[in-house]
Amino acid sequence: MTARDHQLLRWLAEHYVLSTDQITTALFPSRRSARLRLAQLHQMEAVSRFADVTTGSGQYLYTLGPLGTVVHPTQFNDPNHAGARAPRTSIDRTERIIGSRLLPHLLGTNQLFIDLLGYARTDEHARLARWWSEQHTTAAFAAASYAAGSGTGVQPDGHGIWHAGGRTVGFFLEHDNGTEPLGTVLRKLRAYEQLARYGPRYPVLLRVPGRRREQHLLDALAGVPTAMPVATGLHGEHPAGPAWTLTTDPGPRRWLHELPSDHGPDNPSTNPHRFPDTDPSGPDPEP
């Protein structure tokens, strides 16, 4: 297998599922070349695939296959239950993902990071330096929370570190499909407030499906000071671009790299043992 194949398997090991279009955007020059290679990987049993029933697009969704789980074993086995018993086979793992009520949420969360990876392929000065899943982020920051004597840990849908425009911005993503009451969304900010007391003060991105819900969030947070930046954005807008509105300054939308970000006393770039970094770009894939 190639370096690009291994990169794909690493992503599937941590982030569960990716669509044909997402894989094309992140790794391939065309959809045709992606489909040809994915068919080969499926034949090799490196990946498993099934029809996308979430959108009706007709494309395949991919998870780790039997060979993939051998090459890239992972502790992230069940999107519904972080502490669930490890699956006996890759088929068992795939069935948990297919049957998960979180499947559309997983694809939506992953899309933001895929869009950033796709943007970085067109801009040599841009780079997604970290892409962590919900379970990875929760586990990493729970250890830091315990060490700091805090009883609450953050549980974002994803965490990334983005470099562009000469700036490096860490962020936590809360991908909202509009199914939760606004109060539930707002209560999630409490854990980030506690983290900001001793750790990084990264912006929390509240990404919502429509402008009406976004405005309700902005209204609810108007005049409410937070220890960390909070920004709202829409699903349909490219996350690297001017897609983000700061709740404390709801003026012109800002680019992701323009958002305020403070790595805090536990800067992962200077304390790699506490927040071990992973580079999602890996080796340069072949064209």
- pLDDT (tens, 9 = 90+) of the chain, 287 residues, equals 999 999 999 999 999 999 999 999 999 999 999 999 999 999 999 999 998 877 777 899 999 999 999 988 877 766 666 666 666 777 778 877 887 788 899 999 999 999 999 999 999 999 999 999 999 999 888 866 655 555 567 899 999 999 999 999 999 999 999 888 888 888 899 999 988 888 899 999 999 999 999 999 999 999 888 999 999 999 999 999 999 999 999 889 999 999 999 987 654 433 333 333 444 444 333 43
**58 in the Ramachandran plot: left (φ > 0), alpha (ψ -120 to 50) or beta?**
left
Q: Tell me what pLDDT residue 269 has.
A: 39
For residue 21 the two structure tokens come to: 């279009």
For residue 107 the two structure tokens come to: 């694809």
Phi, psi of 5 (to 5 degrees): -60, -45
Asked if 187 and 149 count as a contact pair (C-beta separation under 8 A), the reply is: no
> Could you tell me the sign of the dihedral formed by the alpha carbons of 176, 87, 26, 58, in that order?
negative
Angstrom distance (rounded) from CA 271 to CA 278:
13
- Name, in order, each residue with C-beta under 8 angstroms of 54's C-beta and a sequence gap of 6 or more: 61, 103, 104, 107
Q: DSSP letter for 262, please.
A: B
CA distances 198 to 125, 149, 227, 263, 266, Å, are 31, 10, 11, 10, 8
Q: Tell me what pLDDT residue 234 has.
A: 97
Angstrom distance (rounded) from CA 150 to CA 30:
47
Which pairing describes strands 47-51 and 127-133: parallel, antiparallel, or unpaired? unpaired
Q: Which of 9, 5, 6, 32 minimizes the C-alpha distance to 21?
A: 32
Q: Which of 127, 232, 121 minimizes the C-alpha distance to 169?
A: 127
Number of neighbouring beta carbons within 10 Å of residue 221: 20
Q: Tell me what pLDDT residue 280 has.
A: 46
